[in-house]
Amino acid sequence: MSFVKRKVDKTPIEDTVFAIVKKAKEDKERVGAENVVDATIGSLYNEEGSIVAFDSVFTPYNQIAKETKAAYASSFVGNESFRKQVYEWVVGNRSALAHSVIATPGGTGAVALSVQEILDEGETLVIPEIAWGSYRLMAAMNNVEVATYSLFEDDHFNMKSFKEVCERVMQKQKKLLVVINDPCHNPTGYSLSMEEWKEIVAFLNSCAKQGEVVLLNDIAYIDYSYDLEHCRDYISCFDAFDEKVMCVIAFSCSKSLTSYGLRCGAAILMAKTQQLVRDVEIVFEKAARATWSNIPNAAMDNFTQVTTTNVEAYIKEKAKYIALLKERSDIFMKEAKECGLACYPYKEGFFVTVAMDNETRDCYHEALMKEHIFTVKVNKGIRVAVCSLSVTAIKGLAKRMKEILDTL
């Protein structure tokens, strides 16, 4: 007997992160925190081991009137000032496409709306083979199938696999929803080059000859790019999209503002005509109203304030942590190269991923824990969260990891 709807997968979520976080915590209590490397936590942490909460974000937040915090947002698609500022912050003057912005609870809300409202049951979502786990879960919850493209060919994006998988799905369902998590891909830290993006845009246009194409560009980590000045330039390529291609950019305030718990984000819809955008906007608005109604009013207002009147202080504070992230990842990648620990091509972002097949990964993950090193298993690899490891903890880590790998 079961009380939930018939067509739903009832196997429990395979908890690859929180279960290991718990083990790491227990190990710290047993042997002392200084003897444990906890590379599991996917939020930005400082060198002292605490979560980073930017002063430039939370001082203005704490000054917001309690009545503003108490109030509903002014619309199901979000406050007008927030919608405008999200577009300004992410796209600015890089595109002439018609557009709209729907406020969502985090980037999660934007990705979930897209999967739920763009594909019909039984259709297929295309995602990277190494990816944030929620894509697959969202597909499953909507009875949507998943097809994966291989991410890399040597040290660059596997364009051949991307094209093959998209073509196969397109042929079958005459419609395509494809996720590209870029820049700062989670969990490998890869970012596409401008040339790669141009080739993707041209290819999606060719797919559109057979039906509608939606590119879901998940930019959750964009504000930690090591090249902030140019990391949004690729968006200008989207202007070359044909009528039958739409882009949904999933934006997250969680990472950008270190405000994971405030549940604020947005879906930016972009297409050739306002009518095409409006068509999707109507459905997304209804789905938003039917699921979360509206998102936190104060979180939206705070984003607008932080990225306008407070922007200098915010950029300055964030820059300090981007430099720290770079220092940490540079050490890990340099040492990994020196000792021959194979990693996926990292460029920027919160995570580095050690490359291996899944069979080796499972024993390796266990072996690492025996040596008090806690990591997260991902498809074809082991994720090391450089975002939360101190420089001291990172120094020598790659070599230790390689030595443990060699004992298997």
Residues that bind ligand PLP (CB under 6 A): 42, 106-108, 132, 181, 186, 218, 220, 252, 254, 260, 265
Which residue has the closest beta carbon to ligand PLP? 106
| Cβ 290 to ligand PLP shortest distance, Å | 19
Toward ligand PLP, which CB reaches closer, 108 or 114? 108
C-alpha pair distances (Å), 9 with each of 19, 118, 136, 335, 379: 21, 20, 12, 43, 21
Toward ligand PLP, which CB reaches closer, 220 or 398? 220
Toward ligand PLP, which CB reaches closer, 119 or 387? 387
- The two three-digit tokens of residue 146, written as one number: 């998943």
| Cβ 20 to ligand PLP shortest distance, Å | 16
Q: Provide the residue type at 198 as one letter.
A: K
State the Cα–Cα distance between residues 104 and 89, nearest whole angstrom: 16
Torsion angle of the four alpha carbons 383, 384, 388, 393, in this order, in degrees rounded to the nearest 10: 160
Toward ligand PLP, which CB reaches closer, 277 or 387? 387
| Cβ 4 to ligand PLP shortest distance, Å | 24
| Cβ 262 to ligand PLP shortest distance, Å | 9
Toward ligand PLP, which CB reaches closer, 141 or 404? 141
C-alpha pair distances (Å), 232 with each of 87, 116, 245, 330: 12, 27, 19, 23
| Cβ 254 to ligand PLP shortest distance, Å | 3
The number of residues making up the chain comes to: 408
| Cβ 148 to ligand PLP shortest distance, Å | 15
Toward ligand PLP, which CB reaches closer, 136 or 395? 136
The answer to whether 101 and 83 have CB atoms below 8 angstroms apart is yes
User: Across-strand partners of 407?
Assistant: none
Toward ligand PLP, which CB reaches closer, 157 or 276? 157
| Cβ 149 to ligand PLP shortest distance, Å | 16
